[in-house]
Amino acid sequence: MSSSFTSKMPNIETSIFTEMSMMANQHQAINLSQGFPEFDTPAFLKDKINQAISEGKNQYSPSNGLPELLMQIAEMIHRQYQSHLADEQKLNGLNNVTITSGATEALWVAIQALVRPNDEVIIFDPAYDSYEPAVELAGGTCRHITLNAPNYTINWLQVEQSINAKTRAIIVNSPHNPTGSILSESDLHTLQGLVEKYDLYVISDEVYEHMTFDGLRHESVLRYPELFNRSFVVSSFGKTFHCTGWKMGYCAAPNELMTEFRKIHQYVTFCSFTPAQIAITQMLKQQPEHITALASFYQEKRDVLVNALKGSRFTLLPSKGTYFLLLDYSAISELNDRDFCHWLIKEVGVAAIPLSPLYSAEQRQQYHKNNKVIRLCFAKNDDTLLKAADLLCQL
């Protein structure tokens, strides 16, 4: 029977992360493709969630999240990003933070709150793949700007030239998936100048906020009160506490924006998983050292992989944050990146992510001419990283 159903999203295909993970399973390849940790969430967190469940804390929480958790998050933000600010400039947990079901929900809701039909949103390619569908379902379109390889920096002049009467928002992501680049203080000042000049808003995806390396500081939007006044800042406990399957995150925003965010959030999920909220509250309170140790934990993993790949024919690009490392394979193969990743899984036994699917269709052609780059995830046990590197060194 032929269907008369008209898709609202005819161009959406299975995400590249799902495609590569499925292929990795099928061919039993070492999976350095999808970005999730191979190691478990801390025992303390597991004990606390089990305890909450067995004590019967299994009903809805307040829609915004448990007040104690909101206040713990605010304290963490004050400590990490706002110690230089006067008290009245600091964010208030109860008014300015909402718990969401993963950063994905926070991004979705922030985009629905901001974007109106025919609005344009500037995003930077390669871009995490959930931004554009959310913008399009809100009736907007994305204006794609390519980051400058090999350091994947933003050309702010090009950003300013792309702003027009329809431009509503700019989505930034630092530390950046998939490239491992980070924004500098000067990037944030320029961003602030532009959004003030053209009356725009910012969605700042900071899910890898606690993972910057070599002493580099994460430049959170939360450090800059005037910029924060026009921003939604999004983070993920899944990344921070190695529990991506719990889908727990949050959004921070100034009063006016958060009021709009909460109107939508209450009809998307109403609230997020109560036992996880209780466990994460205890974790933030009693084991804050987990977060402060995260950067060095992942820096060591990065260095294990980088050192193990030193004898290979790949060119390694700088990874300043996240748990991703980019490899340029132009000395090894003429294949385009997707075909190269398929070949790597089948013939070598290692799964990676090609970057080209994270560029807009228009930019992909050009991209293929100039780039042969894949992404590896190093949130894995050392023996997994060493085994994968050993195979890659044989190419």
Q: For residues 136 and 206, which CB has a smaller minimum distance to ligand PLP in the complex?
A: 206
Q: For residues 35 and 140, which CB has a smaller minimum distance to ligand PLP in the complex?
A: 35
From the list 59-67, 101-109, 222-230, 252-260, the region that binds ligand PLP by CB under 6 A is 101-109
Q: For residues 188 and 379, which CB has a smaller minimum distance to ligand PLP in the complex?
A: 379
The whole-angstrom separation of Cα 179 and Cα 324 is 7
Question: Binding of ligand PLP at residue 321 (CB under 6 A)?
Answer: no
3-state secondary structure labels for all residues of the chain:
CCCCCCCCCCCCCCCHHHHHHHHHHHCCCEECCCCCCCCCCCHHHHHHHHHHHHCCCCCCCCCCCCHHHHHHHHHHHHHHHCCCCCHHHCCCHHHHEEEECHHHHHHHHHHHHHCCCCCEEEEEECCCCCHHHHHHHCCCEEEEEECECCCCECCHHHHHHHCCCCEEEEEEECCCCCCCCCCCHHHHHHHHHHHHHHCCEEEEECCCCCCECCCCCCCCHHHCHHHHCCEEEEEEHHHHCCCHHHCCEEEECCHHHHHHHHHHHHHHCCCCCHHHHHHHHHHHHHCCHHHHCHHHHHHHHHHHHHHHCCCCCCEECCCCECCEEEEECCCCCCCCHHHHHHHHHHHHCEECEECHHHCCHHHHHHHHHHCCEEEEECCCCHHHHHHHHHHHHCC
Shortest distance (Å) from residue 325 CB to ligand PLP: 14
Name which position in 81, 108, 124, 128 contacts ligand PLP (CB under 6 A): 128
User: Count residues contacting ligand PLP (CB under 6 A)?
Assistant: 14
From the list 61-69, 81-89, 98-106, 366-374, the region that binds ligand PLP by CB under 6 A is 98-106
Q: For residues 17 and 367, which CB has a smaller minimum distance to ligand PLP in the complex?
A: 17
Q: For residues 90 and 265, which CB has a smaller minimum distance to ligand PLP in the complex?
A: 265
Site for ligand PLP in 204-263 (CB under 6 A): 205, 207, 236, 238, 244, 247, 249
Q: For residues 93 and 175, which CB has a smaller minimum distance to ligand PLP in the complex?
A: 175
The whole-angstrom separation of Cα 203 and Cα 122 is 10
- Residue whose C-beta lies closest to ligand PLP: 102
Question: Binding of ligand PLP at residue 177 (CB under 6 A)?
Answer: yes
The whole-angstrom separation of Cα 129 and Cα 194 is 25
Which of 180, 153, 173, 144 minimizes the C-alpha distance to 359?
144
Question: Binding of ligand PLP at residue 298 (CB under 6 A)?
Answer: no
β-strands 249-252, 97-100: how paired?
A: antiparallel
Q: For residues 249 and 275, which CB has a smaller minimum distance to ligand PLP in the complex?
A: 249
Q: For residues 177 and 231, which CB has a smaller minimum distance to ligand PLP in the complex?
A: 177
Question: Binding of ligand PLP at residue 102 (CB under 6 A)?
Answer: yes
Site for ligand PLP in 129-168 (CB under 6 A): none
Shortest distance (Å) from residue 393 CB to ligand PLP: 27
What is the pattern of x (binds ligand PLP, CB under 6 A) and - over residues 23-62? ------------x---------------------------
Question: Binding of ligand PLP at residue 319 (CB under 6 A)?
Answer: no
Q: For residues 20 and 308, which CB has a smaller minimum distance to ligand PLP in the complex?
A: 20
Question: Binding of ligand PLP at residue 104 (CB under 6 A)?
Answer: yes
Question: Binding of ligand PLP at residue 173 (CB under 6 A)?
Answer: yes
Query: By the criterion CB under 6 A, which residues form the site for ligand PLP?
Result: 35, 102-104, 128, 173, 177, 205, 207, 236, 238, 244, 247, 249
